[in-house]
Amino acid sequence: MLRWVNAVKSLFNRPHPSAKEPVRIPRSGHNISRKFIDKRALDVLYALKRAGYEAYLVGGGVRDLLLGLEPKDFDVVTNAHPEAVKQVFGRKSRIIGRRFRLVHVYFGRHHFVEVATFRGESQGGQRKTDERGRILFDNVYGTMDEDVWRRDFTVNALYYNIRDFSLIDYVGGLEDLKQGLLRLIGEPETRYREDPVRLIRAVRFAVKLGFKIEPNTEAPIQPLGHLLQEVAPARLFEEVLKLFHNRQAVTVFEKLRHYNLFRYLFPQVDALLDEDALTRGMVLAGLHSTQKRLQQDKGVNPAFLFAFMLWGPLVQRMQYYLSQAMQPAQALAAAADDVIGRQIRTTAIPKRITQQVRDIWHLQLRLDNRYGDRAARLAEHPRFRAAYDLLGLRAEAGEPVRALFEWWTTYQALSPVDRVAFALEVAKPKRRRKRRRRNRNPYRRRARSAEADIDQGSEAGE
**Min dist. Cβ of residue 392 to Mg ion (A):** 33
Q: How does strand 167-169 pair with strand 23-25?
A: antiparallel
**Min dist. Cβ of residue 49 to ligand ATP (A):** 21
**Min dist. Cβ of residue 158 to Mg ion (A):** 13
Stretch that binds Mg ion, among 58-66, 140-148, 208-216, 424-432 (CB under 5 A): 58-66
Cβ-based nearer residue to ligand ATP, 88 or 148: 148
Stretch that binds Mg ion, among 60-68, 77-85, 244-252, 334-342 (CB under 5 A): 60-68
Residue nearest ligand ATP, Cβ-based: 60
Stretch that binds Mg ion, among 49-57, 67-75, 319-327, 379-387 (CB under 5 A): 67-75
Cβ-based nearer residue to ligand ATP, 246 or 364: 246
Distance CA 196, CA 93 (A): 31
Distance CA 155, CA 175 (A): 9
Residue among 152, 169, 270, 368 flagged as catalytic: 152
Identity of the residue numbered 200: I
- Of the residues 73, 138, 276, 459, which one makes contact with Mg ion according to CB under 5 A: 73
Active site residue 152: yes
Closest CA to 134 of 56, 41, 229: 229
**Min dist. Cβ of residue 242 to ligand ATP (A):** 6
Kindly determine how many residues on this chain lie close enough to bind Mg ion according to the rule CB under 5 A. 2
Residue 60 contacts Mg ion per CB under 5 A:
yes
Query: Measured at the alpha carbon of residue 251, what is the angle toward residues 250 and 253, in degrees to the nearest 5?
Result: 65
383 interface partner picked from ligand ATP, Mg ion, none, CB below 5 to 8 A per type: none
Q: Where do contacts with ligand ATP occur on this chain (CB under 6 A)?
A: 59-60, 72-73, 75, 151-152, 156-157, 195, 197-198
Active site residue 145: no
Residues in contact with Mg ion by the rule CB under 5 A: 60, 73
- As annotated, the active-site residues are 73, 75, 152
